[in-house]
Amino acid sequence: MMLGVLLTVLKIIGIIILVILGLLILLVLLTLFVPIRYNCKGEYYNFVKGFVKVHWLLRIVWMKYYLDNEHTYIIVRIFGIKVYTTKVIEKKVARAVKKKTEKVVEAEVNIAKEEAKDKIINLDQNEREVKVIQKEISEELNKKEALEVLDNKKDKKMNIGNNTSDNKDEKKIIEIKNSQNIMIIKNSENSENIENIENSESIENIENSENSENIENIENSENIENSKKRKKSRKSKKRKIKLWYRIKEFFVKIKLFILKIYKFIINIKNKIRIIYINIIDPGNREAVKLIYTFLKKFLKHISPKKAKIKVRYGMDDPSSTGMILGAASVLTVRYGKNVQIEPVFDTDKTFFEGEGRIKGRIYLIVALKQLLKLYKNKKIKQLITKLTQGGKDNG
């Protein structure tokens, strides 16, 4: 009983493994023998516009690259489901732009707030100055009123003195009364003098307090102005330092970029030199011929099977126009009437415009077969080792 259960479990596992292997073999065969088809369309009338479509196995895998002047995007679908698209990248760019705009807006708002604060401070200072002026005016009015009161009292005194001089011949009783009145008047005059002195002292104290307040206001305004000037100088210094560092970083980046380009060009130059030396070497001629035949067959295989091209062009030199027409006649030989080339000889400017569409397919089995032939050849292996070693062994 246990043995039968074990055998059935092993049987099920074996069937599952065979199914997985069969699916893998089927996938490999499909990738090798089912062609990858492409469809390209483009036009150029003052700006570039076009697309490239690639699909495989009844559009189970589908990819599109679209170009419209400067805007490009890629879409990849598997079983009709969107797997990859550059619109996500565009969203990220949009988010980054939004963040930058928000930062700019925040900076503008902060600047506006600072300006409003400065305006409020200026208004407060103006209100203080107005209050000080109002105080000064009210104090001057009080002084004038006090002086007018004193003048009225002096006039009264003068009238009393005149009355006493005219009545010299009166009786002694009246004289005594007058003397008493005079004494009373003198006492009142003394009290008035004391009041005048006190009023003058109070006026002087008020003037001193006003002067001290004015001095304090002036000092406060000067301190505020000095603090503003210091803040502005600090901000200007910080801005100058930041600008200097930015300029320095910019030039450093340019320097590094130029050095990278220079190193890249030198590396390419060295690689081209090594390839050229190995191609010229008589011991590598057979390998070079094999690579040439492989590239020729592969390019013929992937070349478009259908094409429809319409081109109109012109060069400032008529001889150049004729040379280009001679080179382009190869396309007319291959595709016939589907290729229409219209040269313009009587023009002073170089221009090009046109549109075209091509279709083709690629079998991976063909490319794999040719690559296996190249890999088995000993001469090509030697050439590859020489190229990888940097051309140290040249024969």
On whether both 317 and 228 belong to a single domain, the answer is no
What is the tens place of the pLDDT at every residue in 27-78? Answer: 999 999 999 999 999 999 888 899 999 999 889 999 999 888 777 889 999 9
Domain membership of residue 267 (yes or no) is no
Q: Examine the fold and report which residue of 236, 264, 297 is the final residue of a domain before the chain moves on.
A: 236
Domain membership of residue 22 (yes or no) is no
Distance in angstroms (rounded) separating the CA atoms of residues 242 and 298: 57
361 and 35 Cβ atoms separated by less than 8 Å: yes
Q: Is pLDDT at 163 greater than 60 in this prediction?
A: no
Q: Is pLDDT at 173 greater than 90 in this prediction?
A: no
- Label residue 284 by pLDDT band (50, 70, 90): confident
Domain residues for 175?
A: 107-236
Q: Structure tokens of 260?
A: 């990278």
93 and 71 Cβ atoms separated by less than 8 Å: no
pLDDT at 65: 92
pLDDT at 383: 79
On whether both 229 and 119 belong to a single domain, the answer is yes
Lowest-pLDDT choice from 168-177, 261-270, 286-295, 335-344: 168-177
- Label residue 304 by pLDDT band (50, 70, 90): very high
**N- to C-terminal Cα distance for the chain?**
73
On whether both 53 and 158 belong to a single domain, the answer is no
Domain membership of residue 279 (yes or no) is no
Q: Examine the fold and report which residue of 236, 259, 294 is the final residue of a domain before the chain moves on.
A: 236
Domain membership of residue 95 (yes or no) is no
pLDDT at 395: 41
Q: Is pLDDT at 298 greater than 80 in this prediction?
A: yes
Lowest-pLDDT choice from 13-17, 136-140, 153-157, 280-284: 153-157
Q: Is pLDDT at 319 greater than 70 in this prediction?
A: yes
Mean pLDDT: which of 170-174, 185-189, 361-365 is highest?
A: 361-365
Domain count, the chain: 3
On whether both 131 and 48 belong to a single domain, the answer is no
On whether both 190 and 295 belong to a single domain, the answer is no
pLDDT at 286: 82
Bridge pairing between strands 306-314 and 339-344: parallel
On whether both 63 and 151 belong to a single domain, the answer is no
Domain membership of residue 262 (yes or no) is no
Q: Where is pLDDT greater, at 370 or 25?
A: 25
Beta-bridge mates of residue 137 = none
Domain membership of residue 25 (yes or no) is no
Domain membership of residue 16 (yes or no) is no
Q: Is pLDDT at 254 greater than 80 in this prediction?
A: yes
pLDDT at 24: 95
Q: Is pLDDT at 147 greater than 60 in this prediction?
A: yes
pLDDT at 353: 93
Mean pLDDT: which of 100-104, 149-153, 227-231, 338-342 is highest?
A: 338-342
What is the tens place of the pLDDT at every residue in 185-219? Answer: 444 444 444 455 444 555 555 555 555 556 566 66
Domain membership of residue 146 (yes or no) is yes
Residue with tokens 């005194």: 157
- Label residue 233 by pLDDT band (50, 70, 90): confident
35 and 16 Cβ atoms separated by less than 8 Å: no
Q: Where is pLDDT greater, at 248 or 312?
A: 312
Residue with tokens 């090798």: 32
Tell me what the pLDDT averaged over the chain comes to.
77
13 and 26 Cβ atoms separated by less than 8 Å: no
Instruction: Mark residue 98 as left, alpha or beta (left: phi above 0; alpha: psi -120 to 50; beta: remaining).
Output: alpha
Percentage of the residues of the chain whose pLDDT score is greater than 70: 67
On whether both 116 and 70 belong to a single domain, the answer is no
Q: Examine the fold and report which residue of 179, 202, 236 is the final residue of a domain before the chain moves on.
A: 236
Helix, strand, coil percent content, the chain, rounded in steps of 5: 75, 15, 10
Q: Is pLDDT at 249 greater than 90 in this prediction?
A: no
Q: Exposure pattern of 301-323 as b/e (b: 16+ CB <10 Å)?
A: ebebeebbbebebbbeeeeebee
Q: Where is pLDDT greater, at 179 or 143?
A: 143
Residue type, 311: V
Average pLDDT over residues 369-391: 79
The 8-class DSSP code of residue 377 comes to: -
Q: Is pLDDT at 280 greater than 50 in this prediction?
A: yes
